[in-house]
Amino acid sequence: MEITVDRDIRIESVKEIHADEIFELTERNREFLNKWLPWVKYTKSKKDTLIFIEESMERIKNKTSLQTTIFYKGKTAGLIGLVEISYIRNVTEIGYWLGEEFTGKGIMTKACEAITDHTFINTGLNRINILCDIKNEKSRMIPERLGYFNQGILERDGVVNGEFVSHYHFVMWRDKWKKRKV
CA angle 91, 95, 98 (to 5 degrees): 160
- Which residue lies nearer to ligand COA by CB, 34 or 123? 34
Distance of closest approach, residue 91 Cβ to ligand COA, in angstroms: 17
Measured distance CA(78)–CA(70) in Å, rounded: 5
**Conformational region of residue 146, where left means phi above 0, alpha means psi within -120 to 50, and beta covers everything else:** alpha
Contact assessment for residue 11 and residue 71, using Cβ atoms and an 8 Å cutoff? yes
Distance of closest approach, residue 148 Cβ to ligand COA, in angstroms: 13
- Which residue lies nearer to ligand COA by CB, 126 or 136? 136
Measured distance CA(115)–CA(82) in Å, rounded: 8
Q: If we measure between CA atoms, which residue out of 122, 105, 22 comes closest to residue 66? A: 122
Distance of closest approach, residue 54 Cβ to ligand COA, in angstroms: 23
Site residues (vs ligand COA, CB under 6 A): 33, 36-37, 96-98, 103-109, 132-133, 136, 138-139, 142
What lies within 8 Å, CB to CB, of 172 at 6+ separation is 116, 127, 128, 143, 146, 147, 148, 149
Residues β-bridged to residue 169: 131
- Which residue lies nearer to ligand COA by CB, 35 or 63? 35
Distance of closest approach, residue 61 Cβ to ligand COA, in angstroms: 26
- Which residue lies nearer to ligand COA by CB, 97 or 120? 97
Nearest residue to ligand COA, by Cβ distance, number only: 106
- Which residue lies nearer to ligand COA by CB, 31 or 61? 31
